[in-house]
Copies of this chain bind each other. A is one copy, B any other.
Amino acid sequence: MMPTVVVDGPPMKSIEQKRTMVQRLTDAAAEVYGYDKMKISVIIRENPPENVGRGGRLIADLRGE
C-alpha cells in the first residue's frame, strides 16, 4: 500500500521548513518500510494556537503567560 504520514503541529514558518519536513518524514518512512520514496505521501496540518489544547488549556493562553 501507499503509506501516508500526517503531521499535526503548529503553523510552520516558511515553505523551506515544509520542504524539509516532507523530505525528512518521507526518507524515514521509506527506509523503515523498505519502500520506494515515491510510495510515501505526507500531509502537514497547521493548527492555530487557539485550536489546540494541552493539560486543559489552549496553547494560545499558555503562551500569553
Q: Which residues of A contact B (CB under 8 A)?
A: 1-10, 15, 17-33, 37-38, 40-47, 49-61
Contacts and interface: CB of A to CB of B under 8 A. Distances in A.
Contacts of A38: 54-55
Nearest to A47: B43
15 contacts: A1-B41, A3-B7, A4-B7, A5-B7, A5-B25, A9-B29, A15-B58, A21-B53, A23-B53, A23-B56, A25-B25, A27-B28, A43-B51, A43-B52, A44-B52
A9 B45 CA distance: 12
Given A2-B54, A3-B9, A3-B10, 5 more contacts: A4-B9, A5-B7, A21-B53, A40-B54, A41-B52
